[in-house]
Structure 1
Amino acid sequence: MLSDLLAAEGIVDADDVEWLHLVVGDWQLIADLSFADLVLWAPARIAEAAGGEGAGDDPEDGTDTPEAGADGEAPEYRVIAHCRPTTGSTVYPHDEVGTLATAEERALLHEAHSQQRIVISQAAEPPLVGAEAVPVVRAGRVIAVLTRHTEEGRRQGSSRLERYYRSSATMLLSMIAEGAFPDLSAPSGAHRGEPRVGDGLIVLNREGRVRYASPNGVSVLHRLGHEGEIEGRYLAEVVSGLIAQLRPVDETLPLVLTGRAPWRTEVESGRVTVSLRAIPITRAGTRTGAIILARDVSEIRRRERELLSRDAMIREMHHRVKNNLQTVSALLRLQARRMESLESRAALEEAMRRVAIIAVVHDVLSQGVESEVDFDEIVDKGLRLTPELTSPELEVTLRRTASFGAISSADATSLALALTELVTNAIEHGFPLSAKPEGQDTLRGTVWVTPERVGDRLTVIIADDGVGLPPGGGPGSGLGTQIVRTLITSDLAGSIEWRPRAGGGTEALIDVPLRSDTV
């Protein structure tokens, strides 16, 4: 959405767009430290002169400073993003995205934009009273303007925590105005358990000594095992003394604990795991200190380990079921070979094939823990089982003409069994050896499996170019047909019908609703 809003205002440079995405991706931190709303403004492209360039385009110096109107008024600006604090009340009860600036707001924004400096509003009425306009700079150019709007009570807050929170936010805003924040070398993207302002804040000086630690920050270090005061001590010394020497340590840990690099890491001591994020503070390119965010993520990591253990157990269960089914299939094969009766041997071979396709489903399920499986893989493996039942005088080509996509694991076994039965029936009854042309050693045919998904329903057509349906027009009443009907109508709550295929042969049409295992 942000990219679309930027494009609508003529901001299409890929680097500028990425920079603004990074600003918005990290500005909840600044809003929480400020106890303030943050609003991001872009020069609005209201109208362009016919055949001319947009307002503010300057091909000579590459800047994008919007020009004032002919009547001397400041140019238009539009809100493209809005962030509210989680640490205090909001100044704006409604979402401001898409709103055009008022005349007073335009003057403030234009001053910050054109002079490339932070400007404090002199307005006497909210929401501009005490507001600050901060130019968002990239590569020496102002590409947008950010404003900070603080509730009056918070601006006058005098607690030590509030002072350090706001001063930390002000330093980050100054870095934005210098083009030094966000840092492109910092890891991007959200992380599960990433520390937030309220979880614990530690402010370091240039040497890495703790200037201030919020109460929650102190509590986090106490959970790691530290006792005593923290302020005035080197954070690296405090934390390194708490880590068991036999445990592997992240090589980035010293850089994070001294605030020299904008990275994230985790430390463990006993059963306690703490996530740390460092944000170096700079002024005019010189590092002056750092902000360290700390969060106790012990419970989050414990749950993740439990999930991994559960997932591994589920995979192992499917793997063992698959192995057991393959053993049963092998026993049936051995028993079939000992049968003298052709009818008994055929019955055991059919049972062997059905067990084998169930084993295929569990084999696929054992490779992951997702609630849905790639059904194409199951179908393709199942189709490879059917040629084993054909005669040497019969050559049938099996083709899947489209993709099934992901199918609920709850439906996978029943659907795979039904499809395999239908393909087997098509081979056995659609291509009797009596239909082999005279003078040919081999009877050839084709079976097509064509799935189609529409919304939450799946339709599958199993078609062959064989001899077609018997004179009665039905599929017969054998065991295979009974199994298919039961699986489709009872297990899958769907329907099935057989009909002649245009051009010769038979089609079996399956229509079933798709279930989802996702919660």
Structure 2
Amino acid sequence: MSVLTDLLAHNPNLAGPAVAHLQRLLSEWQILADLSFADLLLFVQDSDGSEEGYRCVGQMRPYTAQTIYVDDLVGDFFHRHERPMVGRGFAEARVIRDADPDWSTGVPVREEAIPVGYGGRVIAVISREANVATARSPSQLELTYLSAASALAAMCAAGDFPYAAGDRPEDSEVSPRVGDGIIRIDEVGTVTYASPNAISAYRRLGHLEAVHGQNIADVDPRPQDADAALDEGYAVMGEIEHDGSVVLRRFMPLVEEGTLTGALVLVRDITELRRHQRALRVKDATIREIHHRVKNNLQTVASLLRLQGRRLASEEGRNALAESVRRISSIALVHEILSREARQSAPFSEIATRIVDMLSEGLVSVDTPVDFQVEGNPGELGAEIATPLALVLTELVQNSVEHAFTDHDFDVERGMVTITFDRHASTLRIVVADNGKGLPEGVALESLSNLGLQIVRTLVTSELGGTMTTMSPDHGTAVELMIPLP
């Protein structure tokens, strides 16, 4: 549940579609803050007990100016007399700019109210607040910003912004911002202003002539995007690649009283970003291929050991090779899962389940009916933890099946081995327990010297930096592992 949904969960003034409209606004209003050189606060009507007032449900700071608010006001309740401009925004349903600067914070703050229209009514009000102490003679760039901000504010009051249809930025790290480059075009597509960054971006696409005064169709290599924004009235975002350069553009139509007056074009050169992403994809593919080859090699070794085991006459030799095959297969499982992932971590619950299935096929029979159960969620673990831990679980579960149920009366109680995971922020607790005969009186699992337990102790203490402790259940044996997480 988002913060906005949580804050409006019990607000009787707003229903589902209105809340969705506010969600879209919060995802897009960074551009309004940047164009306005101002902080934005979003207020809805609410009550605090018997007192009516306004609750702040959203806040946005500008990238183009210093913020007024160091603290976050989201969730705070204000009485009506504390926010008179907000009240005027709800009552008058228009953009209000006629208030004098407020000096209560020590600096002159000009507050403006922008109503948020939806469904023929005002569902919220944006308080746009700017420090006018830094005011100076604005440049053409700043005038273009402020003009576009006024147009978006009027659209917000009319319910035309945020856009109901069209491409919407999904990745905040990639989507273009005001400072990346901006172009203003009129209703027929003529460029009335282009920032230096925007001009540079189009030059990387091969347009070397002047941009100002030209039609966007003669500047942009894919003019159909601009046509869709101007003809259909919805936002369009897309990338253009030319000679190794990649530029992202977003066309945002501007509407005044139902009439399209032009569009705002945000432009960002993302050449280096896309080059970096391609390099990462190549690296990920290489890593996955390495894991795939390691898995194949391990499976080949396991197959060779199985063939060798079939040729041995000694039962003890065949069992030793079968144990080695299971150890190798458990490591191969980790590499198999990592080969499918685009990152160096894997869901360990899947690995544990696959290990249990593998051991069940190799160790469980009609004479030894043992069930397995995996509880809890260990989450994703990196390869440096998942690989030794997979081998540890293989050894512990195999040890339980082979030694805990000798002389066990399976007619009275089926065998059960349970693996329980309990993950915390910095540790992973694993308990492997069985309902077998248990250890002899006064004997701890740590003191036993068979090869499997030696492998477990070495991996847990040396490779994983954890601890291994024998627990004392009512019956059976339980081993607790505590593994630190990075």
Where on the TM-score scale, by shorter chain, does this alignment land: which range? 0.7 to 0.9
Q: For residue 275 of structure 1, report the CA deviation from its aligned partner.
A: 0.8
Q: For residue 91 of structure 1, report the CA deviation from its aligned partner.
A: 4.6
Q: Secondary structure at the match of 1:81?
A: strand
Q: For residue 142 of structure 1, report the CA deviation from its aligned partner.
A: 0.9
Instruction: Find the counterpart in structure 1 of residue 438 from structure 2.
Output: 468
Instruction: Find the counterpart in structure 1 of residue 415 from structure 2.
Output: 446
Asked if 1:138 corresponds to 2:118, the answer is yes
Query: Match of 2:100, as an amino acid?
Result: A
Which region of structure 1 is more displaced relative to structure 2, 382-391 or 204-213? 382-391
Asked if 1:283 corresponds to 2:264, the answer is no
Asked if 1:228 corresponds to 2:209, the answer is yes
Alignment check: 8 A CA contact 1:408 1:514 kept: no
Q: For residue 384 of structure 1, report the CA deviation from its aligned partner.
A: 2.5
Tell me: CA distance 1:259–1:198, structure 2 relative to 1, closer, same or farther (3 Å).
farther
Alignment check: 8 A CA contact 1:259 1:278 kept: no
Query: Match of 1:376, as an amino acid?
Result: S
Asked if 1:508 corresponds to 2:485, the answer is no
Distance in 2 (CA, whole Å) between partners of 1:214 and 1:369 is: 38
User: Considering only CA atoms, is the larger Rg found in Structure 1 or Structure 2?
Assistant: 1
Tell me: CA distance 1:255–1:153, structure 2 relative to 1, closer, same or farther (3 Å).
farther
What is the aligned residue count? 475
Where do 5+ consecutive residues of structure 2 fail to align?
none
Instruction: Find the counterpart in structure 2 of residue 359 from structure 1.
Output: 332
Q: For residue 502 of structure 1, report the CA deviation from its aligned partner.
A: 2.5
Tell me: CA distance 1:376–1:93, structure 2 relative to 1, closer, same or farther (3 Å).
closer
Instruction: Find the counterpart in structure 2 of residue 265 from structure 1.
Output: 238
Q: For residue 4 of structure 1, report the CA deviation from its aligned partner.
A: 4.1
Tell me: CA distance 1:509–1:93, structure 2 relative to 1, closer, same or farther (3 Å).
closer
Instruction: Find the counterpart in structure 2 of residue 149 from structure 1.
Output: 129
Task: With the length of structure 2 as denominator, give the TM-score of the two structures.
Answer: 0.88
**Which of these residues, 89, 95, 101, is aligned with residue 112 of structure 1?**
89
Task: Write out per-residue CA displacement over residues 416-460 of structure 1, whole angstroms, 9 at most, x where no aligned residue.
Answer: 11111122222222334xx377xx9x9984231231315233333
Q: Secondary structure at the match of 1:182?
A: coil
Instruction: Find the counterpart in structure 2 of residue 64 from structure 1.
Output: none
Which region of structure 1 is more displaced relative to structure 2, 388-397 or 353-362? 388-397
Instruction: Find the counterpart in structure 1 of residue 37 from structure 2.
Output: 35
Distance in 2 (CA, whole Å) between partners of 1:310 and 1:431 is: 48
Alignment check: 8 A CA contact 1:121 1:129 kept: no
Task: Write out per-residue CA displacement over residues 40-75 of structure 1, whole angstroms, 9 at most, x where no aligned residue.
Answer: 3333424549xxxxx6xxxxxxxxxxxxxxxxxxxx
Alignment check: 8 A CA contact 1:459 1:509 kept: no
Instruction: Find the counterpart in structure 2 of residue 487 from structure 1.
Output: 459
Tell me: CA distance 1:501–1:89, structure 2 relative to 1, closer, same or farther (3 Å).
closer
**Which of these residues, 371, 393, 398, is aligned with residue 424 of structure 1?**
398
Query: What RMSD over aligned residues (CA atoms) do the two structures have, in Å?
Result: 3.0
Distance in 2 (CA, whole Å) between partners of 1:37 and 1:391 is: 67
Which region of structure 1 is more displaced relative to structure 2, 229-238 or 173-182? 229-238
Distance in 1 (CA, whole Å) between partners of 2:435 and 2:109 is: 81
Instruction: Find the counterpart in structure 2 of residue 185 from structure 1.
Output: 165
**Which of these residues, 130, 140, 144, is aligned with residue 164 of structure 1?**
144
Distance in 2 (CA, whole Å) between partners of 1:495 and 1:151 is: 58
Query: Match of 2:296, as an amino acid?
Result: N
**Which of these residues, 292, 312, 318, is aligned with residue 285 of structure 2?**
312
Alignment check: 8 A CA contact 1:260 1:290 kept: no
Task: Write out per-residue CA displacement over residues 269-290 of structure 1, whole angstroms, 9 at most, x where no aligned residue.
Answer: 0111111111111112221110
Distance in 2 (CA, whole Å) between partners of 1:158 and 1:474 is: 80
**Which of these residues, 94, 100, 104, is aligned with residue 123 of structure 1?**
100
Where do 5+ consecutive residues of structure 1 fail to align?
50-54, 56-75, 244-248
Q: For residue 299 of structure 1, report the CA deviation from its aligned partner.
A: 0.8
Task: With the length of structure 1 as denominator, give the TM-score of the two structures.
Answer: 0.82
Query: Match of 2:195, as an amino acid?
Result: S
Instruction: Find the counterpart in structure 2 of residue 246 from structure 1.
Output: none
Distance in 2 (CA, whole Å) between partners of 1:497 and 1:153 is: 66
Instruction: Find the counterpart in structure 2 of residue 201 from structure 1.
Output: 182
Distance in 2 (CA, whole Å) between partners of 1:110 and 1:458 is: 53
Distance in 1 (CA, whole Å) between partners of 2:363 and 2:109 is: 85
Asked if 1:100 corresponds to 2:68, the answer is no
